[in-house]
Amino acid sequence: MFAAYAARIDRDQPLEGLELGERPAPGARPGWSTVNVRAASLNHHDLWSLRGVGLAEDKLPMILGCDAAGIDEEGNEVVLHSVIGQSGYGVGPREGRSILTEKYQGTFAEQVSVPTWNVLPKPKELSFAEAACLPTAWLTAYRMLFTNAGVRPGDSVLVQGAGGGVATAAIVLGKAAGLRVFATSRDEAKRKRALELGAVEAVEPGARLPQRVDAVIETVGAATWSHSVKSLKPGGSLVISGATSGDRPSHAELTRIFFLELKVVGSTMGTKDELEDLLAFCAATGVRPVIDEVLPLDRAREGFERLESGGQFGKIVLEV
């Protein structure tokens, strides 16, 4: 079957290790289901995999891609939960959790195999492309906002780095949930898009906000860390799920964190139950993932190049 996969690890030039071509189709395995992929979406996780983060060389070649929607063996339209081993189903109780492409072949292929427990019904209201955007970036944003930040309608949130998948999802979900959303971006066009999606104000990174916020959604890392901490109300929460600009800020702001009793919460992906809730939320409210570009699978390299350049706003989807 045709697939986009990591053939080599290159920490400095990750796309040098990306290849497109034939790979073995998944075989039958007790407790697992094979899904015919209709759409899959790119995440920064895929670029990090090509750099060898979370992907060991002895696992190569590895088909990339965490997210997918497609048709299962019984003809049902389905969405995949990307966290394998979260429940023990399909892998045994002693295996730790992993994300597709770390131990098991991913979704940028004509077929993918996952534990049957990880297969969820796709709401009829969502297209395959829309559904394929949800299991990583949108689920991450959903958990960051509603589980780990614990915000409620009427609260205020700062989303750093508008344009990325998680940040874009946080703006849309926050608006739909009645939050007062502020956003940052270095790019004027992305700030304008953030306003169109529902942010009440979009500013350059580091700019003073008109008010302090209840929570910050942080995926940028070192470049925005100090601004994130300084933007919080006393007792506020900074929820972080990534560090695309690096994980070593020049100033940790520890004094401000302890003096104002701020909370710093790490967040990774989400649970199957949260994904079910997110799917239902989108179906019921009309909220839809922001899609930057849809490409056929055989043009996956173009999608990776756009993701690496940071030029996208929303999700890049590959269709099979």
Q: Provide mean pLDDT across the span 286-294.
A: 94
Q: Are 138 and 279 in contact (CB under 8 A)?
A: no
pLDDT at 151: 96
Q: Which residues of the chain form beta strands (DSSP E)?
A: 2-6, 18-22, 32-41, 62-63, 69-71, 77-80, 83-84, 98-99, 111-115, 119-121, 156-159, 180-184, 201-203, 213-218, 232-240, 263-266, 291-296, 315-319
Range with the poorest average pLDDT among 36-45, 238-247, 291-300: 238-247
- Residues in a beta bridge with 264: 238
Helix, strand, or coil here: 295?
A: strand
Angstrom distance (rounded) from CA 291 to CA 151? 26
Interhelix angle 165-176/188-197, rounded to 10 degrees, is 30
Q: Are 214 and 234 in contact (CB under 8 A)?
A: no
Tens digit of each residue's pLDDT (9 = 90 or more) over 33-68: 999 999 999 999 999 999 999 999 999 999 999 999
Q: Provide mean pLDDT across the span 167-178.
A: 95
* Contacts of residue 98, Cβ cutoff 8 Å, sequence gap at least 6: 83, 84, 85, 104
Give the pLDDT band of residue 94 (cuts 50, 70, 90): confident
Residue 316 pLDDT greater than 90, yes or no: yes
Tokens of 244: 């695309």
pLDDT at 227: 97
**Ranges of H-type helices in 116-233:** 128-132, 139-143, 165-176, 188-197, 225-230
Tens digit of each residue's pLDDT (9 = 90 or more) over 105-148: 999 999 999 999 999 999 999 999 999 999 999 999 999 999 99
Task: Quickly name the fold that domain 2-134+289-319 has.
Answer: Quinone Oxidoreductase; Chain A, domain 1 (3.90.180)
Give the pLDDT band of residue 89 (cuts 50, 70, 90): confident
pLDDT at 142: 97
Task: Give me the CATH code for the 137-266 domain, please.
Answer: 3.40.50.720
Give the pLDDT band of residue 193 (cuts 50, 70, 90): very high
Helix, strand, or coil here: 286?
A: coil
2-134+289-319 shares its CATH topology with 137-266:
no
Residue 93 pLDDT greater than 80, yes or no: no
Residue 95 pLDDT greater than 90, yes or no: no
The Cα-based distances of 19 to 68, 246, 319 in angstroms read: 19, 27, 17
DSSP per residue, 84-146: ETSSSTTT-TTSPPEETTTSS--SSBSEEEEEGGGEEEPPTTS-HHHHHTIIIIIHHHHHIII
Angstrom distance (rounded) from CA 183 to CA 190? 10
Tens digit of each residue's pLDDT (9 = 90 or more) over 9-28: 999 999 999 999 999 999 99
Q: Provide mean pLDDT across the span 285-300.
A: 95
Give the pLDDT band of residue 160 (cuts 50, 70, 90): very high
Q: Give domain limits for the chain.
A: 2-134+289-319, 137-266
Kindly report the number of other CB atoms within 10 A of residue 208's CB atom: 9
Angstrom distance (rounded) from CA 83 to CA 121? 16
The Cα-based distances of 289 to 124, 173, 231, 284 in angstroms read: 15, 9, 27, 14
Amino acid at residue number 299 = R
Rounded to the nearest integer, the mean pLDDT of the chain is: 95
